[in-house]
Structure 1
Amino acid sequence: MKGLGERILTTHVGSLCRPAPLLEMVIDQVAGNPVDEAAFEAEVARSVKYVVDKQAEVGVDIPSDGEFSKPDFGSYITRRLGGIEQVKTAPSDGIYYPQLSEQFPNFMKQYAAMYREMWIPPEIPREKVHAAMNAPRSRNVLKAPLYYAGYEELNRDLTNFGTALAGHDFADAFVPAATPSRSDAMAGEIYATGKDYLYALADAMHEEYKAIVDAGYMVQLDLGLPSRNQVLYGKTNPTDKELRDASLEQVEAYNHALRGIPPERVRYHMCWGSMNTPHTTDVPLKEIYDIILKINAGFYSIEGANPRHEHEWMVWKDVKLPDDKVLIPGIVSHQTNVVEHPELVSWRIQNYASVVGRERVIAGTDCGFSQGWSMQRVHEEVQWAKLKVLAEGAALATKALWN
């Protein structure tokens, strides 16, 4: 990676706020409205070019394509997996976080009612937004053995990204991809056990990971390990041991999916959930760092600006980061419209550098700015201000650390 070890590089987690024309088309697709496919493809290409140029302008060293072609990070992969059939169910009622909903029932109810359209540009008609929100959900049902069927969409994304990168001088570039940890289509008689299903997913996802790396990009596995605040295999309140066992099983599947791919071309993003919620159910880093480090990745993206996790740079005082690994801590938050000060950015970077070394820190964000059409976390103007400040703070840290 160009420049690594010579200065503090900057990056983010992948998803960025979609321009209004593209977002409106995505919303129409979700709502079931007719969308001209050729016009959509042209708008995706234009938007990816715009977002790559904008990342260069604000000083991002390692960009993504913004995940612009995907309606959201979680469901895009269903379109790329053969063997799964989508069955319509009732519309979504918002978010479902069992433990947080018990601790903060009124907050979670109010938040669920507003977060999905809070930062959607006002020029997009609200009747379209509400139609998309009230569209029937899809339940995934396994009908045949899994296989990867998304080559056309994947090649489109890689081509658009490559075209947009031409003429720029970035340190590297990355493409996020879902991890083989889904359990939404386990029902059925295709696979005897959940583990068999998990490894079938890993085999299918291997095709996407390998294609991304073969195209010259880093691949980022982008999903959290099982957490206390989720339903695990049908159980609402799993024990810590059940969570740990499930996490270790998933890491084995991750590594199976990454077989043959050089770790130095792999980023892993540890996500505690990107919602602007209390985060009191997040598992502390000190309890899971050893599981994360088992993933065959050269780079680990973790939250560090979220006030629930900002102190966790100190974990690395007592834990030795392997010599061939690099941290990408969140230095600016994606959850607040308050723009961090460059000196705060520099201070946070220097904290991490003090415990793992300046050569093994890349400044990042806590999570994506818009993981889906209805998941925009801040205003787009604020997003770009934050990434610009990230670059300014990285320059200050570079001056301090290499002085």
Structure 2
Amino acid sequence: MSNLTTPFRYDYVGSFLRPEKLQKAREAFETGTISAEELKKVEDECIIQLVNKIKELGYHVITDGEFRRSTWHLDFMWGFEGIEHKKTVEGNTTFDAEAAMIDDTYMVGKISVKEHPFVEHFKFVKALEDENTVAKQTIPSPGQFYAYFTGIQLLEDTLNIYGTEEVFAEDVIKAYSAFIREIYAAGCRNLQFDDCVWGGMVNPKIAIALTGRSGEALEEYKKLILKLNNDVIAQAPQDLIINTHVCRGNYHSTFFSSGAYDGVADLLFDEENVNAYYLEFDDERSGGFESLAKISGDKKVVLGLITTKRPELEKKEEVIKRIRQAAKYIPLDRLYLSPQCGFASCKIGNKLTEEEQWAKLKLVKEIAEEVWG
């Protein structure tokens, strides 16, 4: 088992553009042209090619690029008992005026988990580790799971099943803890909570619209999201590294929310008990670095200064300048570098080519080696 731990000076969030071969295979599967076994064979081949490319670039963390998923978060939810989904007819979420065509996902009974499919997905990647690389698993945070089913659109259905939000929250903690036991037993020692809840909360209007709460009720909701994440972390094995990625949405190069981290920094940066934060700082939507002063203890920050939303390469000098600016608020030795989000949070992917994707990662590594040696 590899003893390497995330984050690394040059790093990435997790998802990659799906190769054309994989896109076609998934379409064929969805139309009944090929079997699940045939689709898996293509997925396996594409993941091996992806990992080989990542190793070739000199990165120390490997993932499956989320190649077996339709979306970064919903596929994980589908692995739980009590959750079902169906194809959406119309776009069900607005990302910068673009409707996201992702499955309608809903609860039909109390949630639990046993033999989650992501565990087998992880085992495949783990087998590709070598002395220079370690596999990490990305999943939506407990707070993200909870927020999805207690937002204004699905809260009534959740209460019909659970009676109270508190009882549902208890089951979220139990189910996540069960999943973590499974994937830990499979050899996972680096887990990443992907979390757009805090990215939405940075924008007061969006926070109210999504949750149906305002004022003190909204503040209590934020504290509950924090508690959910921390309770799951507290129950995890001590040698399991748990990091979190927080962004403002990523769908086909569009975004969901805008605003600096300042409004959530007291809870997120001071009180969430993660090892490191992968943060979005690629443009003016993300605000400044001042909130990094709230990062408590010896927690680390992976600066997402390279965008995955546009193909143009950033200027190295400008990125280095921004790293130095961030170092005014948190020591340079606790800073790391990555793209601001994944390249394909959903199977549709962002608006750049695979070649442009790899150029971004080459730039991240080049800058990191110049700054940190």
TM-score (norm 2): 0.84
8 A Cα contact 1:345 1:394, kept in partner: no
1:380 is the counterpart of 2:367: no
Aligned-pair distance for 1:89? 7.0
* Aligned amino acid, residue 165 of structure 2: G
Alpha-carbon distance in 1 for matches of 2:125, 2:135: 9
Measure, in 2, the Cα distance between the counterparts of 1:89 and 1:45. 25
Count of residue pairs brought into register by the alignment: 353
* RMSD over equivalenced CA pairs, Å: 2.9
Counterpart of 1:91, as a letter, is: V
Task: For 2:246 and 2:83, locate their aligned partners in 1 and report how far apart those are by CA, in whole Å.
Answer: 27
Give the Cα separation in 1 of the matches to 2:341 and 2:91. Answer: 23
Going from structure 1 to structure 2, the CA distance change for 1:234 and 1:394 (only over 3 Å counts) comes to closer
Letter in 2 for 1:174: K
Q: Match for residue 42 of structure 2?
A: 43
**SS of residue in 1 equivalent to 2:303:** strand
Aligned-residue offset at 1:18: 1.4
Alpha-carbon distance between aligned partners in 1 of 2:332 and 2:183, rounded to the nearest angstrom: 28
* Cα distance in structure 1, aligned partners of 2:26 and 2:80: 20
Work out the CA distance in 1 between the residues paired with 2:350 and 2:327.
Answer: 31
User: 1: CA distance between counterparts of 2:119 and 2:255?
Assistant: 39
Residue in 1 aligned with 2:17? 17
Which residue does the alignment assign to 1:140? 106
Residue 330 in structure 1 maps to residue 304 in structure 2: yes
Partner SS, residue 192 of structure 2: strand
Picking from 178, 193, 202, the partner of 1:221 is 193
Alpha carbons 1:263, 1:298 under 8 Å: kept = no
Query: 1:155 pairs with 103, 119, 132, which one?
Result: 119
The one-letter code of the counterpart of 2:196 is G
Give the 3 Å change call, closer, same or farther, for CA 256–263 of structure 1 in structure 2.
Answer: farther
Q: Using the TM superposition, name which of 175-184 and 256-265 deviates more.
A: 256-265
Q: What pairs up with 1:175-194 in 2 under 5 angstroms?
A: 175-180=137-142, 181=146, 182-183=148-149, 186=155, 187=157, 189-194=160-165
Secondary structure at the counterpart of residue 286 of structure 1: helix
Could you say which residue in structure 2 is the equivalent of 1:127?
none
1:272 and 2:248 matched: yes
Quickly say closer, same or farther: Cα 1:380–1:224, change in 2 above 3 A.
same
Secondary structure of 2:249's aligned partner = coil
Partner of 1:255: 230
Residue in 2 that maps onto 1:361? 335
Give, in angstroms, the shift of residue 219 of structure 1. Answer: 0.6
Identity %: 18
Q: 1:314 aligns with which of 278, 290, 305?
A: 290
Runs of at least 5 residues in structure 1 that lack an aligned partner in the other structure: 101-107, 117-132
Q: Is the 8 A contact 1:330 1:363 kept in 2?
A: yes
Change in CA separation of 1:384 and 1:82 when aligned onto 2, cut-off 3 Å: same
1:146 Cα shift? 1.2
Structure 1 pair 146–175 and aligned structure 2 pair: CA distance change class (3 A): same
Distance (Å, rounded) in 1 between the aligned partners of 2:35 and 2:349: 24
Matched ranges for 1:76-225 at <5 A: 76-86=75-85, 88=86, 91-93=89-91, 95-96=93-94, 108=97, 111-112=98-99, 137-143=103-109, 145-151=110-116, 153-165=117-129, 167=130, 169-170=132-133, 172-180=134-142, 181=146, 182-183=148-149, 186=155, 187=157, 189-214=160-185, 215-225=187-197
User: What whole-Å deviation, never above 9, does each CA across 1:113-143 have from its counterpart, x for those lacking one?
Assistant: xxx7xxxxxxxxxxxxxxxx6x9x4341323
Amino acid at match of 2:111: L
The alignment status of 1:291 with 2:241, answered yes or no, reads no
